[in-house]
Structure 1
Amino acid sequence: MREQVLTRLEGRTPAEALEAGVEPRVVWHALCDALDVPDSQRWGHDTRRPAPPAR
């Protein structure tokens, strides 16, 4: 969160993006995309609660 700089977040870390007011959903999807987390695993193992869609 404090070290991974993401281009999609305008060169900020997820922590910096959240502090700047970027919507958590946007930060989450940017981080998952950068780490190649598949859609099916972005919200853990709870099949009743999928990750919110990216905007």
Structure 2
Amino acid sequence: MRRSEFERAVEDEFGAAYGAVVTADLGLDALGGRTAAVAIAAGVDPREVWTALCDATDVPPERRYGVGRLEPRS
């Protein structure tokens, strides 16, 4: 997962405004209490951050994998 895919996934799942709040304010136990934004800035793989964010916010499995990717062009 690229950072841009992570950002699209967050916006798709949480919306732009709430996504910004969740990534900036929610400490994630799986990432040592760091927020998603801090973890990404520290170089943690965006897929790992996405998984931790999904676990912390109870995102169902069917909405976790493959999100954030653009549809292939025809």
What's the TM-score, normalizing by structure 2? 0.56
Partner of 1:31: 53
Secondary structure of the structure 1 residue equivalent to 2:54:
helix
- What code does the residue aligned with 1:38 have? P
The percent identity for this pair of structures is 51
- What code does the residue aligned with 1:23 have? D
C-alpha displacement at 1:41, in angstroms? Answer: 1.3
| Correspondence for 1:19 among 28, 36, 41 | 41
> 2:50 and 2:36 mapped to 1: Cα distance?
8
| Larger proportion of helix | 2
> 1:30 and 1:4 mapped to 2: Cα distance?
11
Unaligned runs of 5+ in 1: 44-49
Moved beyond 4 Å, runs of 4+: none
What is the aligned residue count? 45
C-alpha displacement at 1:42, in angstroms? Answer: 1.8
- What code does the residue aligned with 2:29 have? T
- What code does the residue aligned with 1:5 have? G
> 2:38 and 2:51 mapped to 1: Cα distance?
15
C-alpha displacement at 1:28, in angstroms? Answer: 0.1
